[in-house]
Structure 1
Amino acid sequence: MRRPLVPFVAVPLFALALAACNDGNAHTENRAQPPARAVVVETVKFVARTPERSFVGSVRPRIESDLGFRVAGKIAERLVQQGQAVTRGQALARLDPTDLALQKEQAEAELAAAQINLNTSEAQDKRSLDLRRSGWATQAAVDQQLARTADARGRLDRAKRALELAVNQLAYSTLVSDVDGVVTATLAEPGQVVASGTPVVRVARAGEREAVVAVPEALIERVRTGQASVSLWSNANRRYEAKLREFAASADPATRTFQARFTIQNADDGVVIGMTATVTVGEPASARVARLPISALYSEGRGPSVFLVDEASGDLTLRPVAVEGYEGRDVLVSGGIADGDKVVALGVHKLDASQKVRVVEVRS
């Protein structure tokens, strides 16, 4: 008799069913652990809410004077060049002194004649008084003589003043510096005939240095109230504290900007007149915020949040944040995150805090 084959057929079927169950479990595990999602992150950096504004200008002296002769004449020689350092009392230029010397000699001659005239008149006074005591002259004649003597004395005084004036004018034929400083411009050349007061040499007084910039009218209040610093193009890493000293009362008619002069504090020898300078003005007490793209905000009705990324593990953390305001495409965050945090910048509404992510781009 033949044995039944049913038990032997059931064993393969059971094995097939068990294999099918194992495959199903494997597919379930794969669906439970989806691949890491690629994200773009931005590095958090807190800065002043009101950004600093910079203005390009030049270094100028606080006091710069155009010097000229106090008398008219022909320039005989110019003794300094542009950029030369000068000291107080140093000669800068000279006029032809011929005419001024003649005027001095004329004044000396007038003084000598006035002195002789006074001496003669005083001698005549003595004789008139003697004659009056002897009865040979009237009192009227004596009074007339005394009046002539007083006039001669006044003429002598005028002659002395005229000589002093002539001496001074001769001295004015030499233009001298009245301060220590630097020649910043030469405005006349030898052989040129100049009038009294015509600028010949420009001298910058040694001492304070200033940065002069042009300010648009939209930034007037910020420049007046902000904290300023100055850096030079020759040494951009060095910053000098600065203080607004002068602000123009009216705008330049051509550029419609206002000139501002900032005193450079503790200026050293590296601050040279004519250098290009950058004046940076910031708010004295501006709140610090982090600027993030609006696309980084995530909201489920419980306030704004952002997703923080741990680059090492790929984990996400949903973090509530305090929003200070909005500017254009940026959101200003004042709290809830810290410098250096990595925040997902795009596609946050497609993320879940339980997901794993991988960073494909980091913006700073």
Structure 2
Amino acid sequence: MTYESEIKASGGEASSVHLDYDPPERGSALTRRRRAIIIGAILLLAAIAAAYVLLTAGAEEEEADRGSQAPAITVISPGRTTVEGQVIATGVLAARREAPVGVVGEGGRVVSVPVDAGDWVRQGQVLAVIDRSVQTQQARAASAQVQVAQADANLAQSNLDRALQLVERGFVSKADVDRLTATRDAAVARVQVARAQVGELQARNARLNIVAPSAGLVLERNVEIGATVSAGSGPLFRIARGGELEMLAQVGEEELARLRAGVSAEVTPVGSSESFSGQVWQVAPTIDNRTRQGTARIALSYDPALRPGGFATARILSGTTTAPLLPESAVLSDEKGSFVYVIDSENKAQRVAVETGIVTSEGIVIQSGINGTEKIVLQAGGFLTEGETVNPRPLGK
């Protein structure tokens, strides 16, 4: 609205002034509208900020709740350890060089067995005696035949000597001398034949004694007095040459590849807490295609506690290796092979395949798959699933 007013100046003249002026009611309305808009905007921004804060706090709280509900899992970082390699194997004890002893002659009835299992014998010692009453008479008869043949040879020689004395006088012809010489030679030959027959019978009689082919320990005695034996009776005794024993350790083909002749071993018989030192003297050149195992032969000195045929366990040294060493509880396996659970930076369990090596009293050597710096689940890995969030706790904290 425009208002027009007359104002008298100091000089008495009047002037006319026009003013643009809004009534007080209209101005206050506009101010209130602007203020309301600003306040509304401020309130809207405050509401948005409050909602953001609430949502962020809710997410953090939910994440905290989720973290607090995650299972607590003990983890370890094994690092790398220098381990003395060893192979644990089982097998049987046996004689290193076993000598079966049986009948080498015609056999007969056993009349004496002067040794028993567990006895030490020397080379050539009599183990059993077979009745030789008939053979003895035959030997005597043969000896008598030697005497008869020798007498005939002596007579033939005398006849030849006389003929040679008479041939110079012309009483005996040259043909008679030749005939007497042949007779003498035949008689001498018959003596040699008779003596050879006696020697044969004596050798046969000697073979009726069953003797030890070498010094050693008698492992088995399979004959008794009164038994009738022959060449087909099988071994009557078994002797460990020199008393030397061995263990036939059955080793997997992977472990067998790491063994060499000359490495040391400790052998513990079943039922005994005592261990015996030995040495691998032969590694089998072949692998059984059914069991995938080979034989490592461990030489052992004689000891009464080592009984051939018994079962034993061997710990064979196979050099040193540097690798992560994990407790058995940390290593799992299924149809896909061996594996461990590694906790990543987001505290989630990740399955990692590993290749296991030798097993020691301290744990299992891991040949590949991890380097030892990872956080590895120590226990309860069988209850985890890959990708599961956990609350890792280092061992001892």
- Residues 53 and 281, structure 1, Cα contact 8 Å, conserved in 2: yes
The aligned runs of 1:131-150 (5 Å cut-off) are 131-150=166-185
Partner of 2:344: 298
Partner of 1:180: 215
Q: Structure 1 residues 268, 237: closer, same or farther in 2, change over 3 A?
A: closer
Partner of 1:59: 93
Q: Is residue 2:239 matched to residue 1:203?
A: yes
What are the superposed Cα offsets for residues 318-349 of structure 1, whole Å, 9 maximum, x if unpaired? xxxxxx97349x874334479x9989977998
1:98 to partner: Cα distance: 0.8
Q: Structure 1 residues 295, 247: closer, same or farther in 2, change over 3 A?
A: closer
Partner of 2:354: 326
Q: Structure 1 residues 263, 171: closer, same or farther in 2, change over 3 A?
A: same
Partner of 2:187: 152
Q: Which amino acid aligns with 2:138?
A: Q
Q: Is residue 2:150 matched to residue 1:104?
A: no
Q: Is residue 2:151 matched to residue 1:123?
A: no
The aligned runs of 1:192-271 (5 Å cut-off) are 192-196=227-231, 198=233, 199-214=235-250, 219-220=252-253, 222-226=255-259, 229-232=265-268, 233-236=270-273, 238=275, 240-245=277-282, 247=284, 260=295, 262-264=297-299, 268=303, 270-271=305-306
Q: Structure 1 residues 95, 244: closer, same or farther in 2, change over 3 A?
A: same
TM-score, with structure 1 as normaliser: 0.66
Q: Structure 1 residues 261, 116: closer, same or farther in 2, change over 3 A?
A: farther
Q: Structure 1 residues 225, 165: closer, same or farther in 2, change over 3 A?
A: farther
Q: Which amino acid aligns with 1:39?
A: A
Name stretches of at least 5 consecutive residues in structure 1 with no aligned partner. 1-26, 308-323
- Residues 39 and 344, structure 1, Cα contact 8 Å, conserved in 2: no
Q: Which amino acid aligns with 1:172?
A: R
SS in 1 for 2:324: strand
Partner of 1:68: 102
What are the superposed Cα offsets for residues 147-201 of structure 1, whole Å, 9 maximum, x if unpaired? 2212222221222222222222222222222333222222333333222374211
- Between the aligned partners of 1:257 and 1:201, the Cα distance in structure 2 is 34
1:80 to partner: Cα distance: 2.7
Q: Structure 1 residues 42, 186: closer, same or farther in 2, change over 3 A?
A: farther
Q: Which amino acid aligns with 1:99?
A: V
Q: Structure 1 residues 295, 214: closer, same or farther in 2, change over 3 A?
A: closer
- Residues 212 and 262, structure 1, Cα contact 8 Å, conserved in 2: yes
Q: Which amino acid aligns with 2:295?
A: A
What are the superposed Cα offsets for residues 50-87 of structure 1, whole Å, 9 maximum, x if unpaired? 98654322211111111123222222233333333333
What are the superposed Cα offsets for residues 204-231 of structure 1, whole Å, 9 maximum, x if unpaired? 223422112455xxx3464254256342
Q: Which amino acid aligns with 1:103?
A: Q
Q: Is residue 2:196 matched to residue 1:161?
A: yes
- Residues 243 and 265, structure 1, Cα contact 8 Å, conserved in 2: no
- Residues 224 and 244, structure 1, Cα contact 8 Å, conserved in 2: no
- Residues 283 and 296, structure 2, Cα contact 8 Å, conserved in 1: yes
1:91 to partner: Cα distance: 2.4
Q: Is residue 2:67 matched to residue 1:41?
A: no
Q: Is residue 2:136 matched to residue 1:95?
A: no
Higher relative contact order (CA 8 A, sep 6+): 1
- Between the aligned partners of 1:283 and 1:76, the Cα distance in structure 2 is 53
What's the Cα RMSD here?
A: 4.5
- Between the aligned partners of 2:232 and 2:283, the Cα distance in structure 1 is 27
- Between the aligned partners of 2:274 and 2:76, the Cα distance in structure 1 is 25
- Residues 213 and 279, structure 1, Cα contact 8 Å, conserved in 2: yes
SS in 1 for 2:192: helix
The aligned runs of 1:310-321 (5 Å cut-off) are none
Q: Which amino acid aligns with 1:334?
A: N
Bigger shift: residues 169-178 or 219-228: 219-228
Seq. identity, %: 19
Q: Which amino acid aligns with 2:99?
A: S
Q: Which amino acid aligns with 1:55?
A: A
1:146 to partner: Cα distance: 1.2
1:39 to partner: Cα distance: 2.4
- Residues 306 and 343, structure 1, Cα contact 8 Å, conserved in 2: no
Q: Structure 1 residues 243, 207: closer, same or farther in 2, change over 3 A?
A: same
Q: Which amino acid aligns with 1:231?
A: V
Partner of 2:206: 171
SS in 1 for 2:306: coil
1:101 to partner: Cα distance: 0.6
